[in-house]
Structure formats: structure tokens, C-alpha cells
Amino acid sequence: MSDSPLSRRARRNADPQPAAEDAAATGSDTTSSTSDTRDGATSAVSGDATSARSSRDDGATAATASGDEKRERKPRSTARTWLDRLILVVAVWAIWAFITTFVVQPFRIPSGSMENTLRVGDRIVVAKWAPRFTDVKRGDVIVFKDPGDWTDPVPSGNVITGGIRKIAEVTHLSASGSHLVKRVVGVGGDKVSCEGPGQKLTVNGVAITEPYLKSGVQPCQDKFSITVPKDKVWVMGDNRSNSADSRYHDDGTGRLGSVPVGDITGRGLAVVWPIGNIAGGHNDEDAFSKVPAAK
């Protein structure tokens, strides 16, 4: 049977429905896509905002923690700083006091009595252990305390300078009392003598050649002969014509002019200043090597 015109129109009117449904479906997908896109964008924006807030919060937390640490690390107090400095000063002083009491001590040469071995202004260091643990020998250069008015009294000065000097002595920054430096030419029991100008010094009968004497100086100007008491030493300067040594403080017996071994501060170790004069202790035991022991 052939289709009538009416039937064909009816079918054409009925066909557009799926297209509408497709259109609706397409529109729904588009709407859904648009909605998804908006939701994604919103989500992305929301995520970025959340991330930014989180970063700011973390930064604020870190800054707060850092501030707390800074508050915890307070600077050291002024009192503690000064206490540390005081401890350092005391420690340095204690070390210095120990060294100058038992090991070595510096001295300044004040006069020309030991020229040309030691010159005015030279700084020498003496070994303080030497008199305690070894015998003092002939030819040694020694520093000793004034055994009795050998030197002029040190001016006391005013209250300030006197106080400073006393503090320096107590703290071992300066030697206490007056000290002298001479050369040992005789020890306990030795007979030391000289026949006068132009003659050599003799010890226990042996004439001594003294290479350390200042050029042009006589070994002695006056005749003398003494015996050194036990536990004492007889001392003379290398510049014999300008040295108020044992000879000038004796009564002709050796008793008053000899220096007690207990008054010896130390044996010459080295000249340390000025640089041009740096040298050893200038001890010369070899000059007395042929001298026999005292009888």
C-alpha cells in the first residue's frame, strides 16, 4: 500500500522530537560543562586563596617563632660581661705571678757598673730556679737584693706614685725593694785577692784572665785579700772603676762585703731588649775553670 500525503505529513511532524531531545541533551551537556567549568574555576580560585591564606598563616607562625627565639636569646648582662673580664685579668695575673716568682723575672739595668757586658737600659731576664736548685758558680752574672744600703733609697714620691709602686710590687709587675746586678768571682770558702793596679785578680791562688772586663779597665784599683764566708758570694762589676761592689762595702774580712746566697734573686739568662743587644746571660764560668776548690 502506498503512503498517503496525510501519513507522510504525520511522520514529518513526529520526527523533530528526537532532535529536540538531542538539542535538550546537548543543551544539558553544555550547561553541565559550563557549570563544571565554573565550579572548577571557583574551586581553583578557592584553592589559591586557601593556599595563600595558609602561606600567610605559616609565615606569621614562623615570624612569631622567630620572635620568640629572639626574645629567648637575651643579650648578656653588663655585670656578667665585667665578671668575665675580671676572671680573665685574675687568671693572667696568677700566671704572671707564678712565672715571676718561680721561673723567670725581668729587670732593667740602671747603671754602667756592668759595662760593656750590660748597658744602661738593657732588659735582662734571670732564671729564678737557678739559686734554688743549682749551685751559684764563679763567673755567673746574678741579680740580688740589696744586702744592706748598697744603693740609695728609692724615693717614696707622693701618695699616688707610692701607691702605684706598692701595687706593682704586690702584683709582681715590679720587683720589690732594690736589686743589683754583678758577677760572682768567689764562693763560700774562696780566698779572693788582688795586689793592686795592673795586677790580675786571684782566686785560691790562681790568677784570672777576665775577658768580660770593660776595655781599658784594671781588674782592681786597690790591694785587698779576703775569704768569702760560707753561704755567701763575693761579687764585682765588669766595669771595675765604676762599680760599688763587694770591695766598697767590706771591712777587709769579707764578712760585710759578701752577699748571702739567700738574697740572690736569679742568674742571668738573657738580654731581651733592646733588639740590638739581645744575647745570652753573659755567664763566664770558663774564666775560673782552673781555680781549685776552696780548702
Q: Distance between CA 217 and CA 213 in Å, rounded?
A: 7
What are the b/e assignments for 54-81, b being 16+ CB within 10 Å? eeeeeeeeeeeeeeeeeeeeeeeeeeee
CA angle 183, 186, 187 (to 5 degrees): 110
List all residues 6 or more positions away from 85 whose beta carbon is below 8 Å from its beta carbon.
Answer: none
235, 142 Cβ separation under 8 angstroms: yes
Q: Is 110 exposed, middle or buried (0-12, 13-18, 19+ CB in 10 A)?
A: middle
Helix (H, G, I), strand (E, B) or coil at 207: strand
Q: Is 184 exposed, middle or buried (0-12, 13-18, 19+ CB in 10 A)?
A: buried
Q: Distance between CA 104 and CA 264 in Å, rounded?
A: 13
Helix (H, G, I), strand (E, B) or coil at 200: coil
Helix (H, G, I), strand (E, B) or coil at 123: strand
Give me the half-sphere count of Cα atoms (radius 13 Å) on the Cβ side of residue 11.
Answer: 5
Our answer to whether residue 182 is catalytic in this structure is yes
Selected catalytic residue, list 128, 182, 214, 232: 182
Our answer to whether residue 290 is catalytic in this structure is no
List all residues 6 or more positions away from 244 whose beta carbon is below 8 Å from its beta carbon.
Answer: 113, 150
Q: Fill in the amino acid letter for 189.
A: G
Selected catalytic residue, list 113, 243, 246, 258: 113
Give the active site residues.
113, 182
